[in-house]
Amino acid sequence: MVISEKIFELIKARGMNQKEFALATGISQSTISDWKTKGTNPAADKIMVICDVLGVAPVELLTSGDQFKSYEPDKTVIIEPGTEKYVLIESIKQMDDAQIERLSAYIKRLK
């Protein structure tokens, strides 16, 4: 299945029409129509916005697999190096499973 076919499958699965998809992505309706009628694919610079609107990871759209998983781009959190949160996360990365389990229990008690 080519990329444009996957896109149209996802648009339908999300209950959208081409006009709604065009408005959500900022891609012109004529360009989207070309994907269908001419069998072309979107430009590389449009892939991320398409994935965001359709809720899939880029790898799922660009690879040959037909199964789609949920993708939530707004779940990414950026923590600045040098902050207390950053130091804490770096410390957790170095813990073994038993230490993480104890820390998790401690955090639950703090709540």
- Is the pLDDT assigned to residue 70 strictly greater than 80? no
Q: Are residues 47 and 97 in the same domain?
A: no
Same domain (yes/no): 109, 67: no
Q: Which domain holds residue 108?
A: 77-111
Do 36 and 86 fall into the same domain? no
Residue 65: which CATH number? Answer: 1.10.260.40
Among 54, 93, 49, which residue's Cα sits nearest to residue 70?
A: 54
pLDDT computed for residue 66 by the predictor: 54
pLDDT for position 46: 92
The pLDDT, as a whole number, for residue 74 is 58
What is the pLDDT at residue 75?
Answer: 60
Residue listed under structure tokens 């076919």? 5
Q: What is the pLDDT of residues 12-59, one digit of tens each?
A: 999 999 999 999 999 999 999 999 888 888 999 999 999 999 988 888
Average pLDDT score over the chain: 85
Amino acid 77: pLDDT? 66
Q: For residues 90 and 62, state if they share a domain.
A: no
**Do 67 and 29 reside in the same domain of the chain?**
yes
- Are 69 and 87 part of one and the same domain? no
Calculate the alpha carbon distances from 73 to 23, 35, 77 in Å: 19, 25, 10
User: What is the secondary structure of 15-75 as a DSSP string?
Assistant: T--HHHHHHHHT--HHHHHHHHHS-----GGGHHHHHHHHT--HHHHHSS--------GGG
Same domain? 28 vs 50: yes
Specify the number of domains making up the chain: 2
Note whether 23 and 48 are same-domain residues. yes
Beta carbons of 66 and 52 less than 8 angstroms apart: no
Across residues 96-101, what is the average pLDDT? 91
- Write down the pLDDT at residue 2: 82
* Same domain for 67 and 31: yes
Token pair for residue 52? 């965001």
Higher-confidence residue: 26 or 65?
26
Q: How far is CA 8 from CA 14, 15, 21, 24, 31, in A?
A: 10, 11, 10, 14, 13
